[in-house]
Structure 1
Amino acid sequence: MKTSLRLESAINRLYIAFHNNTLNPECCKQCAVGNILNNTDSWKHLSDNHGSLQLNYVGSVHQTLGRKFNGYTPLELLQIEAAFLKACGYKLPIHHKNKKPKNPMDKDNLFKGLSEVIVFLCQLDGVENVMDYTKLFEVEKDKPKYTLT
């Protein structure tokens, strides 16, 4: 399967963050988008609230000008982060009064968020979910239909 450079790069960064324990939903540098953008938090200025899908003035200007950050538009970045946070169990946008997971750094919790982000990233690029393992179990004439390569 052919994937875009932005997708490959994003998945690689998220994979490393997950395994290095540097994926943190409550830190703008270590959340899904923070990791995709090289552990920077400049993306947080695109919206007024962490987890919001609403671009603020700065975000709208960048979106209108067609700017991309590591291949993603400002709106796509907000959508990526929202998918991550929702799957991790947050009520959006993040606010001290809104629901959040008891242990945000729980590996199972982070894996759910990571999986949802990858599904969304694949949808953005129009490719099949790279984490879909169901094809590995398809059989044809009692033999695996696909091989691991």
Structure 2
Amino acid sequence: MNISKRFEDAIRKLYEAFHNNTINPECCKQCAVGNILDNTDSWKHLSDDHGSLELNYVGKVHQAFGRKFGGYTPLEILKIEAVFLEACGYELPFHHKNKRPDNPRDKELLFNGLSAVIEYLCKLEGIQNIMDYSKLFDYENNQAKYSLELVS
């Protein structure tokens, strides 16, 4: 499978953030996009609300000029963050009055959020979801249809 540098970098950064406990859905520098963009928060100026899918004037200008952040367009950046927040149990846009999880730093909750992000990143790359292990249990004539290939 041929993967892009942006995808490889994003997966590596999210993996490290998850295992180093440096992912936080409520912090623009430590959320999914914040981690993908090297713990910067400049991306938050692309929309008026955290978790919004609507570009503001600044975001529209960057989008129109073809600007990319970590290899992703402004619209893709907003979608990545929205996918992450929704999968973590947030009502969007992120606001103190909207629904949020009781423990936003819960590992299972963060895993679910990152799994959804990875699924979306795979769609952007046009590749099969790397988190989908369901094929491992496909069978035909009482034999596995696919072999298990582990990377060590």
2:62 pairs with 1:62: yes
Tell me by how many angstroms 1:8 deviates.
1.1
Tell me by how many angstroms 1:148 deviates.
1.6
- On the 8 A contact 1:51/1:82 being kept in 2, the answer is yes
**Percent of aligned pairs with the same amino acid:** 68
Amino acid at match of 1:65: F
Q: Where in structure 2 are there 5+ consecutive unaligned residues? A: none
Q: Which structure 2 residues correspond to residues 1-40 of structure 1 after superposition, within 5 A?
A: 1-40=1-40
Instruction: Name the residue aligned to 2:131.
Output: 131
Which range moves more in the overlay, 41-50 or 138-147?
A: 138-147
Which range moves more in the overlay, 113-122 or 131-140?
A: 131-140
Q: Distance in 1 between matches of 2:56 and 2:18?
A: 29
With structure 2 as the length reference, what TM-score do the two structures score? 0.93
- On the 8 A contact 1:135/1:146 being kept in 2, the answer is no
Q: Distance in 2 between matches of 1:91 and 1:141?
A: 45
Q: Which structure 2 residues correspond to residues 35-50 of structure 1 after superposition, within 5 A?
A: 35-50=35-50
Instruction: Name the residue aligned to 2:73.
Output: 73
Q: Distance in 2 between matches of 1:98 and 1:44?
A: 19
Instruction: Name the residue aligned to 1:147.
Output: 148
Q: Distance in 1 between matches of 2:132 and 2:8?
A: 16
Tell me by how many angstroms 1:70 deviates.
1.0
Q: Where in structure 1 are there 5+ consecutive unaligned residues? A: none
Instruction: Name the residue aligned to 1:106.
Output: 106
**RMSD of aligned alpha carbons:** 1.1
Q: Distance in 2 between matches of 1:22 and 1:79?
A: 21
Amino acid at match of 2:149: L
CA displacement 1:113-144 (0-9 Å, x = unmatched): 00100011111111100111112223355443
Q: Distance in 2 between matches of 1:7 and 1:142?
A: 36
- On the 8 A contact 1:138/1:146 being kept in 2, the answer is no
With structure 1 as the length reference, what TM-score do the two structures score? 0.95
